[in-house]
Amino acid sequence: MIIRPYTAADKPACLAAFRSNMPKFFAPGELTDFDTWLEEQGKRDLSDRNECYYVLALNNEIIGCGGYYIRGNGTAIMTWGLLHQQYHKQGWGKKLLLHRVAVIREICPSCTIQLDTSQHSAPFFEKLGFEVTKITPDFFGPGLDRYDMELRN
């Protein structure tokens, strides 16, 4: 297993992982947003540690991705964290999440870490210490609620 910064060449594998999670974890309409966002990530300066997107590879196959960015107000935001559906519940998501948290804590030890997710993934984050701060019904699509969550120091 290796976790490394995302490059433009990783886009097809990340999109495939995203599609594997539709429609339960992501609404179909979010695919275009993710595609556009990945396009911008492929152009980023990889030396900027205040924002990074990673891929998780297993046996040279990308099985997941996720990142973060740090705001100037002492808040870090987790971005587009996901695993290919066939790798759920095997500990890979936890490894990727804990890697991102560790990097954030190294750069900004006092940062509050925030994310938004659906009701389907919220229990995973709760097990790792995140607390629900707000729930918005049907935010991502019909039956796909938004859970805003936070991990404090």
Q: How many domains are there within the chain? A: 1
In order of 42, 76, 100, 130, the CA distances from 105 in angstroms are 24, 10, 9, 15
CATH of residue 79: 3.40.630.30
User: Which residue range forms the structural domain that includes residue 72?
Assistant: 2-151
Instruction: Look at the pTM and tell me if it is higher than 0.95.
Output: no
pLDDT of residue 48: 84
What's residue 114's pLDDT?
97
CA angle 116, 118, 124 (to 5 degrees): 85
Answer for the pair 14, 38: CB distance below 8 angstroms, yes or no: yes
pLDDT in tens, 79-101: 999 999 999 999 999 999 999 99
- pLDDT score, position 126: 96
Q: Which parts of the chain have pLDDT scores under 50? A: none
* CA contacts within 13 A on the Cβ side of 56: 24
Token pair in block for residue 89: 């519940």
Residue 9, both tokens? 């060449």
Distance CA 99, CA 78 (A): 12
Tokens read off for 147: 């859970």
